Structure 1
């Protein structure tokens, strides 16, 4: 793939060298276009050595080749990392005052921008408007990371790590090129653990880290899908390139899931959704009583979000594949697989992913083991390995059902 790597003039420009190496080591042909300001941080000799191509940022070099037209036409994909507030502002305004912005105006393939700037600049109304404009034109603007910035500042605005940008770029290429099994498809994934408020301070929660849901989002992105992540509490960040809808409670998650069904081809319910919530939420912190009496908290049943989604599917005009997750333990009455088959029959989804859980299993771990149960009760697996390995198996299974 022929890639143009634009480099904005920020301290994070040094990270773009590692991103360039990831592209070239993956066999891609990369032309680097740094802004004039970027060359004050990393010189052109570095970009030439790593890319194997001469580097220029002026429209007046090699005029006979009309580079600002040629590079945009020939590129399969353009990446700007770091995308400074200035570069995004000029791109949003349609300016073409250097080789990079001219090339962006000539782009025929997908464009991915990885912003990097101070928090106040990222959150400024002008920058947010520019980001919205770029996204409305089809540019993928990935969310910046949060962390240490230049000097002692810390907050959102940090350039994501090169490997994260690389994954987001490859996902954008898969979507644009139709090369993934879910290219052109829309996938909604619920992830993390819901929290049910007891009072303004306390909540009922669970041990879910959100890692498996994030891996599912990464796997769907890698297959070219447009991914919406409905995210409850999680210990890890959402992958770059997906749309994130934040929720806290089971009721909020239900509303978000049902609201997404009409624009979804695949729904994967990986969130750990609370079965119960307090019947009443105290408006002030629940305090210990002087008489030593224990508080009594009444619980009510939360809606069955997976079952509600299956029921709502009947009114949709387009096909929708629905997958659920079952976190099960065995008991005196049956083993986990038997419990999972019973749950599958109750839910009515297309397939169910069985996790055998426990205090030292699945939750918070980087590896997993699952069994996939189809609607007829047949089992495949077990699938063992990292949560990404498991996610790939689940997403592949959904894609096969969708293509039938």
Structure 2
């Protein structure tokens, strides 16, 4: 996954810069074309000549040193890179990128590149744990930057703890693993619904359910991390996406969710209906608040359109997945739903089980495909469950193409 790639290696000013020499050598041996960009402080630890000899390419240190008058060097390098790797990444360069500062060759390239960016931090254990550094790393992660966490051990400052630059072999292995994962759904488009819907009674009251959207959001981020182009249609939730590449569309009612899902359905390869959509809505919506009065109050309800069924009726080549949240005989009811609606797969969970269901950070599910092959997924975090579900979907899609 690394061979034949254009890799731009950014080296910032830390003692761990010496490890970047071995990293350059190993990447070159694997067949990558490596170009090195160094900050001023990095040059105080290692000479640019060392990287030039190891990479067999010029080393870039100055934004205004234009080696080819026909090109703007920092833009040309930003466009050239398939992968950009910061190793070592100091607190300073992480802070610059997170706050849009471009005051040298490396930081300018980082703002201009459209390549995948991997960051391997190296710094004192207390610096690494500082709230500002943590905030900057979290911000970069939300923008799609990938971190290769530092190791624990003896640091140059004399402390022992987390902050040591990972070894070159570990950095390369982490990049290769991510590249393989990112290729799994490359070129595929995925449409996911999440969360509850709200059905208005009057200006102050509505019907809804306990769904928080956590499972659907986890699925969207899992699919995106596998390289898919993801659209997430969500009901009213308090969640935010940590992956900025996911396109989010907010809706409120079952009718709105129906319309948006149908609008995007035809252009997607995988469609996962994880939202808990209202089955009924008030037949009459009052324009004024309903006042208390003696006796009972009855609200007449009407059926909403079954979104999953209506999508199944339009299905051509989409891989369509439903969810079944049940409280009794969940697998039996789930399999009946799978057959009745003509789905490719269904994810079944007992929302009454401990650690599962609405609002929980964990879940327990059973995945069943159209051949009724069942995969039991025991208690795990919803992101982990989402990874397993996407892996099952990918497997079944490949089996269907054989």
Q: Same fold by TM-score, threshold 0.5 exceeded?
A: yes
Structure 1 residue 211 corresponds to structure 2 residue 214: yes
Match of 1:81 in 2: 97
Query: Residues 310-365 of structure 1, C-alpha deviation per residue, up to 9 Å, x if partnerless?
Result: 10114xxxx210000100111xxxx2211111111221110000011128632111
Contact 1:264 / 1:320 at 8 angstroms: preserved in 2?
Answer: yes
What SS does the aligned partner of 1:370 have?
strand
User: CA offset at residue 226 of structure 1?
Assistant: 0.3
Match of 1:351 in 2: 345
User: CA offset at residue 308 of structure 1?
Assistant: 0.5
Contact 1:189 / 1:230 at 8 angstroms: preserved in 2?
Answer: yes
What SS does the aligned partner of 1:397 have?
helix
What SS does the aligned partner of 2:227 have?
coil
In 1, Cα distance between equivalents of 2:197 and 2:177? 32
Contact 1:321 / 1:401 at 8 angstroms: preserved in 2?
Answer: no
What does 1:4-403 correspond to in 2, within 5 Å?
45=41, 56=61, 58-60=63-65, 67-68=73-74, 71-72=77-78, 74-77=80-83, 81-82=97-98, 84=100, 99=105, 103=109, 110=115, 161-166=139-144, 179-240=182-243, 241-289=245-293, 292-314=294-316, 319-330=317-328, 335-358=329-352, 361-403=356-398
What SS does the aligned partner of 1:401 have?
helix
Unaligned runs of 5+ in 2: 13-22, 28-33, 52-58, 86-95, 118-131, 149-175
Distance 1:348 1:235, change over 3 A: same
Query: Residues 177-225 of structure 1, C-alpha deviation per residue, up to 9 Å, x if partnerless?
Result: 9952110100011011111111122211111111111110111011100
Superposition TM-score, scaled by structure 2 size: 0.64
In 2, Cα distance between equivalents of 1:357 and 1:229? 23
In 1, Cα distance between equivalents of 2:9 and 2:202? 53
What SS does the aligned partner of 2:272 have?
strand
In 1, Cα distance between equivalents of 2:143 and 2:193? 23
Distance 1:192 1:55, change over 3 A: farther
Larger gyration radius, structure 1 or structure 2: 2
Deviates more, 1:178-187 or 1:268-277: 178-187
In 2, Cα distance between equivalents of 1:48 and 1:164? 32
In 2, Cα distance between equivalents of 1:196 and 1:106? 45
Aligned residues: 312
Unaligned runs of 5+ in 1: 8-23, 35-43, 88-96, 113-148, 150-157
Distance 1:239 1:189, change over 3 A: farther
Distance 1:245 1:105, change over 3 A: closer
Contact 1:4 / 1:75 at 8 angstroms: preserved in 2?
Answer: no
Distance 1:76 1:48, change over 3 A: farther
Aligned CA RMSD, in angstroms, stands at 4.4
In 1, Cα distance between equivalents of 2:147 and 2:188? 17
Contact 1:204 / 1:277 at 8 angstroms: preserved in 2?
Answer: yes
Contact 2:98 / 2:140 at 8 angstroms: preserved in 1?
Answer: no
In 2, Cα distance between equivalents of 1:31 and 1:366? 42
In 1, Cα distance between equivalents of 2:35 and 2:72? 18
In 1, Cα distance between equivalents of 2:43 and 2:187? 34
Distance 1:342 1:103, change over 3 A: same
